Amino acid sequence: MNILRYFFLIPLMVISCGLKAENDTLFVPSVRVGLDMSGFARQFVEPETVTGEVSVDVELQENYFAVLEAGMMAVDVKKETHRYQAGGYFFRLGADFNILGRTPENPNDLVLLSLRYGYGTMDHEAPFIVIPDPFWGNHQTALPSEKYRAHWIEAGMGLKTELFHNIFIGWSLRGRLLVASTKDPAMEPYFIGGYGKSNGNTTLMLHYHVLYRIPLR
Amino acid sequence: MQSPCKIPGRAFRTTLMTAALAILLFHSCQDDEICEDLTANNLRIGFYMIDQEDDQWTVVDSLRVFAVEKADQPIHDTLRFISALELPLNPSADSCGFVLDFFHLVDTIWLTYERKTHMVSVECGFTMFFDIKKTVYSTHHIISLEAPMTYVTNDLDEHLKIFLPDTVNGN
């Protein structure tokens, strides 16, 4: 339900900003490569989870961006009674639409609506498990490595602003809906690379970006 | 196509930073998972009167329960006036037996099962579920035994029904 709240914001923003053409001369086709900084930020809050992500977007037609995002994740949770490890890769493919008009002062600032398809694959295992039992005593066991795959769709919005010449910073907020995943009755993944924590079929995630723009003419 | 929604550069950057901080606060205020006590996945047994059309609970006056493998340490030492019982299955073996001492008569139940390690959550750890495959029992006081639910998890289902003589009517 939380995600629906954010979906409702998207048409409101589209309506409020309108869709009328004004100044076509400010548009320059470009490629932008970016680094997602939220993985570094997560390290301070959740040191057991390491993620890295890069992105490429191409603006071939004004305000329409084709986007590819890809990355890796690794999880290593060590507790007194168990250890959980996971590692894998993911990619997201989709498009952004800029709803902010270009001005001569700030021709590259963007307010973006995003749609993505995402896919993640990972191996996860629990090499050390202790199940406490007050009567029989502790039982030590392990769960071997299993492959896990997930498909999801996502929608969101974000901002990008040009900090220096062709250097951008920005953030994006994404709501994700898990549409298919491997079913494992023994072990659910803790964190799905590119999707986030796997608490149910929906998740909300914030990304911070640093990007470099390469004009194509 | 270009939209006419214009925001001056300074305002745009201010908005960007304010929104980012607001979202960061929202993000950091989300609750971490709190581990509740892991519910023991005990075998749940109910005592019933034999030869009743509807299963009717019966009350056992006195009962002492041991594990066959740990006879020196009773699981339940003198339970009184009970109609249900919980027993811990051995997570380190594929079978275990329990001695039910009704004080005047003694029976043994032997259970064979498959063990399934199950993750509660990464924060809270793992537990063991059991899938009962076979039950063997003596019939000194016990008349019969049924297993309506063979999968022992952390829910509250009754897994075994033990049928005892109808002592009130002398059957």
For residue range A112-147, what is the model confidence (pLDDT) as tens digits?
999 999 999 999 999 999 999 999 999 999 999 999
Would you state the pLDDT for residue A150? 96
Q: How many Å lie between the alpha carbon of B94 and the closest alpha carbon of chain A?
A: 13
Residue B15: inside a domain: no
As a whole-number percent, the residues of chain A with pLDDT over 70 amount to 88
In a domain, B25, yes or no: no
Contact: B117, A106; criterion CB under 8 Å? no
Residue of chain B minimizing CA distance to A84? B122
DSSP assignment of chain B equals: --------HHHHHHHHHHHHHHHHHHHHTSPPPPPPPPPP--EEEEEEETT-SS--B--EEEEEEEETTBTTS-SEEEEEEESEEEE---TTSSEEEEEEE-SS-EEEEEEEEEEEEEEEETTTEEEEEEEEEEEEE--SS--EEE-S--EE-SS----EEEEE--TTTT-
Search chain B and give the residue with CA nearest A16. B5
Q: Which residue of B has its CA nearest to A13?
A: B5
Q: What phi and psi, each to the nearest 5 degrees, are found at residue B28? A: -75, -15
Q: Provide the token pair at A6.
A: 């954010």
pTM for the structure as a whole: 0.79
Q: Tell if the CB–CB gap between A173 and B8 is shorter than 8 Å.
A: no
Give pLDDT tens digits for B15-36: 666 666 666 655 555 555 566 6
Distances B107 to A147, B97, B165 between C-alpha atoms, Å:
46, 10, 14
Show residues of chain B in contact with A134, CB under 8 Å. 40, 88
pLDDT in tens, chain A (217 residues): 444 444 444 444 444 444 444 445 668 889 999 999 988 888 888 899 999 999 999 998 888 999 999 999 999 999 999 999 999 999 999 999 999 877 777 778 889 999 999 999 999 999 999 999 999 999 999 999 999 999 999 999 999 988 888 999 999 999 999 999 999 888 989 999 999 987 789 999 889 999 999 998 7
Cβ–Cβ contact B7 with A under 8 A: yes
Query: CA of B7, closest CA in chain A: separation in Å?
Result: 8
CATH architecture of structural domain A2-8+31-215 = Beta Barrel (2.40)
Test the A interface: residue of B7, B43, B126 with most A CBs within 10 Å: B126
Summarised one tens digit per residue, pLDDT across range B63-112 is 999 999 998 889 998 889 999 999 999 999 999 999 999 988 999 999 99
* Tally of structural domains, chain B: 1
Q: Is residue B38, in this structure, part of any structural domain at all?
A: no
Q: What pLDDT, on a 0 to 100 scale, did the predictor assign at position A21?
A: 42
**Cα–Cα distance, B73 to B68 (Å, whole number):** 10
Structural domain boundaries, residue B54: 43-164
